[in-house]
Amino acid sequence: MKTIDTLEKGKAFKSSLFYSYLITDPADYGNTPCTLSSSLERSFSNHRIDMVCFRDKETEDTKALAKSCLETARKYNIEKVLINGDIKLALELGFDGVHLTSKQFNQIKTAKENNLFTLISTHTEDEIKLAKDLGADAVTYSPIFYKENKGEPKGCEKLENMVKRYQDEKFFIIALGGIITQKHIERIKETDAKGFASIRYFTS
């Protein structure tokens, strides 16, 4: 296995490794600090995971949950630990970065100024280009495969085109959406995308 470079906050990945990115959801990982930690420990033990994002759009007060996610990920030496959309809490708790939503392009500059690794959700070529122009480190591009209520899948051919046009050593693209099998992952690898993100894949 290739080694992973040690990185400072806010810096893009420089290794050629194909990254695996776990995104939490309360339905799959629990909505209490204990259940979240237990679920993550199981995922970290069963899979090679390079990045993790704490994401909970349902719980009113997520601070304790975010802290549990961060502490558990640190225990397993996860390379990058992100929080969804909340720059203030990322800085308060010491997260490595943020995963901004597709409505937070105006916060890329703030995140970068605070030395946070900055990733943002994108769904179109224009959004990918904008994210790169604004200085984001990475994007998720979705949905690649079919996922209920997530719109028409982009497919791997379109993903490969986006990778060829925009990905470089300072900016990379992570495939997201409907990735639940090893076959999906192998197909993603063929596009030269920098990695894949999933919720459900890591629960097995």
Check if the beta carbon of residue 43 is closer than 8 Å to that of residue 75: no
Task: Output the CA angle 43-149-26, nearest 5 degrees.
Answer: 35
Of 15-24, 42-51, 115-124, least confident by mean pLDDT is: 15-24
> What single-letter amino acid sits at 36?
L
Spatial CA neighbour of 120 closest among 103, 91, 99: 99
| Helix 125-133, helix 155-166: angle, nearest 10 | 30
Q: What is the pLDDT of residues 167-188, one digit of tens each?
A: 999 999 999 999 999 999 999 9
- Nearest 5°: phi and psi at 141? -120, 125
pLDDT at 61: 87
Question: Which two three-digit tokens encode residue 54?
Answer: 């704490």
| Helix 182-190, helix 155-166: angle, nearest 10 | 40
Which residues make Cβ contacts (< 8 Å) with residue 29, sequence separation at least 6?
35, 36, 39, 40, 43, 203
**pTM attached to this predicted model:** 0.90
Q: How far is CA 173 from CA 38, 121, 189, 196, in A?
A: 29, 10, 12, 9
Q: What is the pLDDT of residues 83-126, one digit of tens each?
A: 999 999 999 999 999 999 999 999 999 999 999 999 999 999 99
Q: How confident is the model at residue 150 (pLDDT cuts 50, 70, 90)?
A: low
- Mean pLDDT over residues 147-154, rounded? 77
